[in-house]
Homo-oligomer: A and B are copies of this chain.
Amino acid sequence: MSRPRLLLVPAPLDFGLDASAPLDEVLPKRTLQEAAGLQHWVVENAKTARALLKRVDAVIPLALPLQQLAIVELPRPPKGQARTSVDLSPLMSPLRAGHDLGLLSEAGLPAVADPGAALVAAAHRAGFAVHGLPGSSSIVQALAASGLNGQSFAFHGYAPTESTARLQRLREWEAQSRKLQQTQVLIETPYRNPALLQALVQALQPSTVLAVSRALTTPQEWTRSATVAQWRQQPSELPTDQPAMFSWLAAASG
């Protein structure tokens, strides 16, 4: 028996868009083959995981019928408690039994901008092999399409939702961007896209370049990269039913 692996299985980025595109259009064959062969899964959401596995099955037949797969959701910590308070050891029982285990999130690479990293860390501590399968991440797809500095960047996840805290944080990140010439990248929940865009356009300096992307990796991909002055002069509308990525780079001072 070969050494069991925790396999990080990327999901496509077409969440909220036309989900009927054949999966091999956006994921490579090796990823689909490994996914089709897995019998044990830990996932962020079981329902969307099953929908994705149906799309895998349409390209490469699953080794076992969908109903026979062991699909476990990542436990959420009790309200008010840290995620580290959850014992992830039971999730690794397939690995202890010698089986490969797949980790899957809602979109993109698992364990990046989602709660899966704790399981990856636990697998390393327990001495299991961790392998990432090839796939796209919205963070770097957005960064590449922005034309902003890709040699130095920071991803901060989500901005604060409270407006005063958000304004303060955006200004701190802009100062850091100017000082380090470091591109700043944020993700946002779809329904808050317009609010974050408005906050960025108001908070950032006119000379800062702001890029917004949506529908990344699909034929409908859209990226606008322009100075904040230009965004103010000619605003863009953002849809509230699909994720968007926001990145900006402040002009060097002096």
Contact = CB atoms under 8 A, between A and B. Distances in A.
18 contacts: A24-B29, A26-B28, A26-B134, A28-B28, A111-B144, A116-B150, A117-B151, A119-B147, A121-B148, A121-B209, A124-B226, A132-B144, A133-B217, A134-B135, A134-B136, A134-B141, A135-B136, A152-B154
A30 interface: yes
B25 A28 contact: yes
A147 B134 contact: no
Given A111-B147, A117-B151, 6 more contacts: A8-B144, A112-B144, A124-B211, A124-B223, A124-B225, A132-B216
Interface string A108-140: 011111101111111110000011111111011
A120 B145 contact: yes
Contacts of A93: none
Given A135-B136, A150-B114, A145 B157 contact: no
B225 A144 contact: no
A171 B27 CA distance: 38
A111 B150 contact: yes
